Amino acid sequence: MNDFLEQVIQKHLLSEIISTSHVSGGCINSAVKISTKESSYFLKWNKAELKQMFQAETEGLKILNNLSPVFSPQVIAQDQLGSKSYLLTEWIEKGRQTPDFWRVFGTNLAKQHKITSSRFGLDHDNYIGSLPQSNKTHNSWYDFFAVERINPQLKLASHKGLISNPIRNQFEILLGKLDQLIPEEPPALLHGDLWSGNFMINSSGEAAIFDPAVHYGHRETELAFTQLFGGFDQEFYHFYEKEYPLEPGFDQRVDIHNLYPLLVHVNLFGSSYLSGVIQTLNRFV
């Protein structure tokens, strides 16, 4: 065990350590599972300069812990030691899917989305993947989506030379008529980065969600992203709508909502994700 792990363990965990084992920490972080006589924990860390990323994740998890009926891990500590920043949470033990797994997951996410706020956004910014995400609040979701979601990604992609002026012009036209394409909804409490890689089945057989990018947004945006890479059973959507029905025509609006995560992927992973963006723009502009 290296000095960093020993210091974190001594600072936050009083129980005797049985073992530590390296696990996946996502695309950019290092991570270990820490097993003690009393319980198990998940520790991930990175450079000290990325402390704000862990601070934002901590705040997001605390919001979900306090408000959402969907399980998310409890935060034990978030801090910095020397040149490393870190986040320590409870360990999520993998379990077996129960027969009513998708019913409970869909119903509970719908209940989470009923939790609302007076404005779209959040009182602090956070991250989508490793990219900064502005959550400046707006009364209108159309303004929030344009100003805090699409435009920052367009600016970054342009700076990287990944998109052309004609594509930017198409976005300008599309954003100008969002209110004709997307129905109004009250601000909904969103996980913010809900895809199949950010949930798992816990030891109780229920969904556990993690790595959030929490904010109050349009609930269709969350559901659209769950469809982008798959991994969610149709039962999930059936029971979601049974609890909290969507406005008719959602399937026709999915691609508009997914322009944001696609642009994020363009900026993180390159122009191979641009074809999906162009297809949607050509369809609606």
Contact 146, 259 (CB under 8 A): no
Rounded to 10°, the helix 259-269/151-159 angle is: 30
> CA–CA distance from 25 to each of 198, 206, 212 (Å)?
12, 22, 14
Residue with tokens 């209108």: 140
Query: Is position 255 annotated as part of the catalytic site?
Result: no
C-beta contacts of 32-37 below 8 A and 24+ residues apart: 32/5, 33/91, 34/5, 34/9, 34/91, 35/91
Number of neighbouring beta carbons within 10 Å of residue 175: 19
**3-state secondary structure at position 167:** helix
Q: Which of 100, 123, 179, 193 is catalytic?
A: 193
Using alpha carbons, select from 161, 192, 202, 217 the residue that is nearest to residue 72: 202
**Active-site positions?**
193
